[in-house]
Amino acid sequence: MSKMKNGNLIVSSAPHVVSPVNTSNIMRDVCIALIPAMIMEVVVFGLRALALTAVCVAACILFESITRRLLGRPDTISDLSAVVTGILLSYNLPAGLPFWMAIIGCFVAIVIVKQVFGGLGQNFANPAIVGRIVLFISFATPMTTWVLPKSQQTVDAITGATPLGLFSKGMDVPSNMDMFLGFIGGCTGEVSALALLLGGVYLVFKKVIEPTIPVSFIATVFVFALVTGLDPVFHIFAGGVMLGAIFMATDYVTSPITTRGKIIFGIGCGLLTMLIRLYSSYPEGVSFAILLMNILTPHIDNLTRLKLNGVPAGGDK
């Protein structure tokens, strides 16, 4: 492309069209969408939860900067993707988790899952999801020691079971309204369905995400619970369904491109989540479900790829 400027012919290489939609702006909108959940984590669990988020964000930024320098790659801190990974990982952790354990999760997410595979856009799975699963497997007890909401803490009890933990043991569970608002035990950023829904509406309004995956994910959980005679609203509000469906399953890199692929991906996430919840030894299955569907994403894309008229199967050769 060439153009005249001050009497001089300026020649430049592609791309020639500059869009206001870039990685930094998209990640900034995701950070804004995560603010309601951040407010609720402070309201429900106190400043310890906010400190955990700050530690994860700082660790992710530091690991990304150091790794890219060691690999001789340009710095990408300004694209805010490491900030988003840090926030999402912290939202998947108990409020009382030791900071050093959270930092290990950040190392796995940024260095192992993201940078070793080439950086943003090359990772095969959502970095925060893998970081959370590695911590869950490595530190099972701290990762399942749930801090109770401040309003429910007593001198004798500051930890307790999550709604899904109570459900798996056949005990009384919190009301759907408490789970909708967020006054329950669980990971710091997943407790308030209302806060996450507000963030999701903002992302759809800003056209950062399409509602296809969240709707198909949540609808599948709803239908599965209904068919098996369970409370579908409980299974949507409990655990990480809302956080996973809106903020983690919609990751551009690790989710399908086509609309049909997104629907298949969302349904798969919902089915696997409910199968793990109801028929495995784990009370929650959102993280494992999204990771498994991340792995299947290239195959889903191949199966749902649009075929051009007149082009034989397998291409034009």
Dihedral sign for Cα 207, 216, 230, 141, please. Answer: negative
Question: What pLDDT, in 10s, does the model give residues 156-214?
Answer: 667 778 888 888 888 888 889 989 998 888 899 999 999 999 999 999 999 999 999 99
- Residue 50 is predicted with a pLDDT of 96
Q: CB atoms < 10 A from the CB of 266, how many?
A: 27
- Residue 283 is predicted with a pLDDT of 84
- Residue 185 is predicted with a pLDDT of 85
Give the separation between CA 110 and CA 228, rounded to whole angstroms.
39
Give the separation between CA 208 and CA 30, rounded to whole angstroms.
8
pLDDT < 70 stretches in the chain: 1-20, 155-157, 308-317
- Residue 317 is predicted with a pLDDT of 47
Average pLDDT, the chain: 89
Spatial contact of 236 and 263, defined as CB atoms under 8 Å apart: no
- Residue 153 is predicted with a pLDDT of 74
- What pTM did the predictor assign? 0.89
Strand bridging mode 146-147 / 159-160: antiparallel
- Residue 291 is predicted with a pLDDT of 95
